[in-house]
Structure 1
């Protein structure tokens, strides 16, 4: 009883004190750890060599000495203001869960998370890109693959990715709690801390299966996962006209969503591993000219 009370008080306090970082630290770091453990050895060495040059970023308050640190760099630099303000829209894509899936029109001029994932791989593959830009590309890529696999960065319903969808989490319901912060933090932490551990070396067959597809395929999958989160929070069809003013995830809803979140975190790590192997591996064959 005392332990439960202390846990409740700790969670309530953290709701007040914790800054609203995308996927929070643990989600991004877990995706990065899975990737680092599952890349090829030569890719791991290339990552380490590149991150040894992280000083070129000139962001001493936001280090990127390891892939885990690099995974949260793109959030850490937000308070630096105008210097990196161009990247704000790169963390998400507003694809309406109440309409058919499409990225067309939802990624203006490449300013969305899926386009920036593809751009990051190309920058790392380009031998003419300066080292500083490659370090930045690696940090952005690591973060954005994590963001894409936080479903509320991949789908919304005109509510800033669930930031305006006020939602209670179990018995906790402070006014500012919303569906985005829940999936970013409380639900992600519950998923990561539920056994068995996610940060392992996966069998080759599983790595290939889970990392298959394109960035657009992954976007569609996480858009569907976002629909699932809204559906759980608003007790059925989240696109109906008579939605309650406030959603709620009860214990049964949370138990149902945890496997989905675990799956997306694992896939994010294994997909990042695949992209890093491609980025640091032999250049792709040139396409024949038509």
Structure 2
């Protein structure tokens, strides 16, 4: 399956972005947005608990640390983590369920989230790594194409053309459009600014509702519902414009908000 970064003006960087690896979700800004929203909703006790853990890995902020799981790609010591960024379902599945999820021998995102929750609650070693992986994987599962199909690598094999905000048409694929192009086109690439704005626009009732939804398989089910819509909307032109971004803008923004609140709730529960 999966992933990577952002539309820039420099052609070499554009090519590097679109044809790099298979393992990130929401691009680097998306993960940072989710974790910054989470940070702003953590109790002081929880912030004090996790701060030395992410700093142990060399990060100044929790938001930046949430990209560690992508930054270690290419390091052979961490190759075993690759399948943990996603979960596959059968191509003909009408809805996601735990029973039909294809979680390989080397794990998947739903199992990995559960594993690292247990690690953080019970283990006294490797806590920093578990924190960074859990926080990243919570972001992954809320990007819909991380709950999709093995046949096309979660949309990576579906070639698309995407028009950037300057009107230039760039080669891409369906997965990259959802990982990075949408965030860039919707002006969400400044993670600090985006997180502050998104967090301010979460109502108390939304926080309450999302906080109560702590079932990892529900999160996967929600993503798969969007995946079905994404595939149903593919047309023969295989091209998306800024109108496509506008159509999905509310969903993308809310999905980032939901992931941030759910992550905060999860981490706060560990210091209750």
TM range (shorter): 0.7 to 0.9
Q: Is the 8 A contact 2:135 2:263 kept in 1?
A: yes
Q: Is the 8 A contact 1:225 1:260 kept in 2?
A: no
Structure 1 residue 147 corresponds to structure 2 residue 147: no
Whole-Å Cα distance in 1 between the matches of residues 131 and 248 of structure 2? 30
Q: Is the 8 A contact 2:29 2:188 kept in 1?
A: no
Q: Is the 8 A contact 2:80 2:106 kept in 1?
A: no
Structure 1 residue 190 corresponds to structure 2 residue 191: no
Q: Is the 8 A contact 1:97 1:223 kept in 2?
A: no
For the pair shown, which has the larger CA radius of gyration, 1 or 2? 1
Whole-Å Cα distance in 2 between the matches of residues 190 and 125 of structure 1? 39
Q: How many residues align?
A: 251
TM-score normalised by structure 1 residue count: 0.77
Deviations 1:57-92 (A, max 9, x none): xxxxxx3443122201111111111x1111110001
Match for 2:246 among 251, 255, 264? 255
CA 1:201–1:258: 2 relative to 1, 3 Å: closer
TM-score normalised by structure 2 residue count: 0.82
Structure 1 residue 161 corresponds to structure 2 residue 154: yes
Q: Which runs of 5+ in 1 are unaligned?
A: 1-7, 55-62, 236-243, 283-290
Q: Is the 8 A contact 1:90 1:112 kept in 2?
A: yes
Q: Displacement, 1:109?
A: 4.2
Whole-Å Cα distance in 1 between the matches of residues 10 and 110 of structure 2? 33
Whole-Å Cα distance in 1 between the matches of residues 13 and 232 of structure 2? 26
Match of 1:208 in 2: 208
Structure 1 residue 102 corresponds to structure 2 residue 103: no
Q: Is the 8 A contact 1:97 1:224 kept in 2?
A: no
Match of 2:71 in 1: 76
Structure 1 residue 89 corresponds to structure 2 residue 83: yes
Match of 1:240 in 2: none
Q: Is the 8 A contact 2:145 2:178 kept in 1?
A: yes
Whole-Å Cα distance in 1 between the matches of residues 82 and 141 of structure 2? 14
Whole-Å Cα distance in 2 between the matches of residues 172 and 160 of structure 1? 26
Q: Displacement, 1:202?
A: 4.2
- Counterpart of 1:79 in 2: which secondary structure? coil
Identify the range of structure 1 (258-267 vs 188-197) with the bigger mean alpha-carbon deviation: 188-197
Identify the range of structure 1 (103-112 vs 215-224) with the bigger mean alpha-carbon deviation: 103-112
- Counterpart of 2:265 in 1: which secondary structure? helix
Structure 1 residue 117 corresponds to structure 2 residue 118: no
Deviations 1:106-127 (A, max 9, x none): 113471111111111111111x
Q: Is the 8 A contact 2:31 2:67 kept in 1?
A: yes
CA 1:226–1:248: 2 relative to 1, 3 Å: same
Q: Which runs of 5+ in 2 are unaligned?
A: 1-6
Whole-Å Cα distance in 2 between the matches of residues 35 and 53 of structure 1? 19
